[in-house]
Amino acid sequence: MGFFARDVVPLTQARANLSELADQVKAGAEKIITKNGESYVAIIDAARLDYYHQLERERIHLLLIDDARRGLADIGAGRSFNADKALADLQRRRIASKVSTAKKKRG
């Protein structure tokens, strides 16, 4: 959905005409409210907001499924390692880095 100049409303005008803006939004328009000439907030129908949230949840689920698929493919191809060992290695490297940094500061 595109926006038109009439869909961009300064905050002062929105305050004065909130009921009218709400009616326009309920009828299908979306409004961008500006403050100091810059985008500030948007007004959209509550049902449309729920729909947008549902789409975002579905997108997240698809991304998780894709991550799982790639993970299973990595396991099948032998590109995996022990998570506990990897975390222990990271922790050892962090400690070694902190020790090295402290030695450099002292000497």
Extended beta strands in the chain, E state: 8-10, 31-35, 38-43
Q: Compute φ and ψ for 36, nearest 5 degrees.
A: 55, 35
Q: Is the pLDDT of residue 102 over 90?
A: no
Res 5: pLDDT? 82
pLDDT tens track for 4-40? 788 899 999 999 999 999 999 999 999 999 999 999 9
Res 1: pLDDT? 58
pLDDT tens track for 45-72? 999 999 999 999 999 999 999 999 999 9
